[in-house]
A and B are shown apart, each in its own frame.
Chain A
């Protein structure tokens, strides 16, 4: 073994040992998550009849359908409106940019009940947006659009911040060159900037979707019905007991894990442009 290889090996082992200082406290968090999963999974697997009951319950099925569908709609709305906002923020140095960034971050720092109250006041039938939209037949109170509105509101910062960071990593010089080669600003954006931000857009969409389907407080304040999965778990927890709610929670965890895994598998090569590997 040559000297520099021995040195590198020694160096690697040394840094491996020193990492223990970081691993030990870090594993406390990982342990808590693992234990939380176990306390849901073990009782459910011990009494599979609850799981079978939940899986065959049409109410549970409908709640899943509503939640996932509303989550997808929320992400769709964010993609259409949040992507241009993220791009504008990444390319602006205006002094008022900080104000817009703070506004975007507000749903992140608010208690969810406050976010719910805001969404309710804005989208209720007499609300600032709810009233005019009601006139064209879009009702939010206790309706599917209300769930989507609440989900969009709470997940705005997750999507916009992730995508803005992605746009920020695309050098403006690439757009300049595209323009010099004949591309209009929109074509330069679509043909250069957007493809190079694919991974951040997907990551932002995944974060926003996860945040959206998990929302409870903001959703029930504007739309208790149709029931979303978090509302149903809370309802069954109060009325049917721990075992019933545990079974639905277990199903949700399983579904999310499968969906996240499939998503990551399908998108593992998206936005990677390297022929060396």
Chain B
């Protein structure tokens, strides 16, 4: 387990403020956040490369806060894998064993075993400069695992790979993690990576942890505008809460209003987060009385996507609406009057910082 408690650090204008997170033993945690959130800095603090101003870091039950990196038993992998260019594949993997004083026979056995299990045997004498992205990643993983670390820290390990290699590398890493019961903390900016790999997602921004949970929890119920943005809501509308009735709250957005599930105090500034795929589009004449939010407006633009159509809708407020190809009964054109239908449970409310915090929860 990796336990970070109340860790603080100031670097120039940037501050990690009292950051706490737990990576359970044998689990895969993905740390997400926008650029400049402090994710890599936090990883480097855990790895021991940056001295922290306060707080404690515990790895596998042992407090390592004051220990140098070489005494922490934490494997570290950077985005570019940081393979040693002056050593060949075999020497790269053997490096940690050599530093730890493992005798040459045991070293050779361990390296041979890793070379074979990572399918690197044919490349053992190659220098790392000539390897492909996927091969480099396998060497870096084998090198990090050679010394049997208590935890692995990965800094955007898939970002430099081409899309095909990325998926297979992700599956490989996840399989290795499961098979070996590894504790991994990985930095990522990609939601798909989190869904594919993570048991737990931690979102941070500006040096502060914003939300922790399973990928489904965090991306379905974001609690902060930054998390909502990472969660990929295509519609994030500024609004104000109005009256609440029957377990629903009215939201005043632009020149219109919609209802969202949950009870919120009136007059609070909120963000209404709606996925483009959750909105249905139809002709005004087709619907009269439906137990849904009914928003009449005008089509501004339509774009063909690989899934179908994406429609921009405006007046009384802007919406982006995805229409799957198989459900398209009519092609809308700019200027068409249409009705957008939206279920109140598909409107997720995020309180904007500074707004009242009492009241019920959404969805």
A51 nearest CB across to chain B (Å): 45
Interface size class of A (residues with CB under 8 A): 20 to 34
Residue of A nearest to B72 (CB): A180
The answer, among B69, B84, B95, B125, for a CB contact under 8 Å with A176, is B69
B341 nearest CB across to chain A (Å): 52
- With A275-B127, A276-B129, A276-B130 given, is the CB distance from A181 to B96 under 8 Å? yes
Cβ–Cβ contact A177 & B86, under 8 A: no
Convert A157-198 into 0s and 1s, putting 1 for each residue whose CB lies closer than 8 angstroms to a CB of B: 000000000000001011011111111110100011001100
Main SS class of interface, A: helix
Cβ–Cβ contact A181 & B85, under 8 A: no
Instruction: Count A-B pairs with CB separation below 8 Å.
Output: 80
Residue of A nearest to B130 (CB): A276
Cβ–Cβ contact A182 & B84, under 8 A: no
Cβ–Cβ contact B85 & A196, under 8 A: yes
Cβ–Cβ contact B76 & A180, under 8 A: yes
Q: Complex Cα distance A240/B151, Å?
A: 77
Cβ–Cβ contact B84 & A174, under 8 A: yes
Q: Which residues of B contact A179 (CB under 8 A)?
A: 48-49, 68-70
The B-contacting residues of A in range 134-159, CB under 8 angstroms, are none
Cβ–Cβ contact B78 & A195, under 8 A: no
- With A176-B69, A273-B85 given, is the CB distance from A181 to B78 under 8 Å? no
Is B112 interfacial (CB-CB < 8 Å)? no
The answer, among B68, B72, B78, B129, for a CB contact under 8 Å with A274, is B129
Residue of A nearest to B76 (CB): A180
Convert B67-111 into 0s and 1s, putting 1 for each residue whose CB lies closer than 8 angstroms to a CB of A: 011101011111010101111100000011001100000000000
Q: Which residues of A contact B143 (CB under 8 A)?
A: 181
B57 nearest CB across to chain A (Å): 14
Cβ–Cβ contact B99 & A181, under 8 A: yes
Q: Which residues of B contact A174 (CB under 8 A)?
A: 82, 84
Convert B127-146 into 0s and 1s, putting 1 for each residue whose CB lies closer than 8 angstroms to a CB of A: 10110000000000001101
The answer, among A176, A182, A192, A273, for a CB contact under 8 Å with B49, is A176
Cβ–Cβ contact A180 & B75, under 8 A: yes
Q: Complex Cα distance A192/B149, Å?
A: 21
Q: Complex Cα distance A184/B99, Å?
A: 8
Q: Complex Cα distance A80/B112, Å?
A: 38
B residues neighboring A (CB under 8 Å): 44, 47-49, 68-70, 72, 74-78, 80, 82, 84-88, 95-96, 99-100, 125-127, 129-130, 143-144, 146-147, 149
What 10 A-B pairs have minimum CB-CB distances, sorted nearest first? A181-B96, A182-B99, A179-B69, A180-B76, A182-B100, A173-B82, A183-B99, A177-B82, A195-B86, A273-B86
19 A-B pairs with CB atoms under 8 Å apart are A173-B78, A173-B82, A174-B84, A179-B48, A179-B49, A179-B70, A180-B72, A180-B144, A180-B149, A181-B147, A185-B68, A187-B99, A191-B95, A192-B84, A196-B85, A273-B86, A275-B88, A275-B126, A275-B129
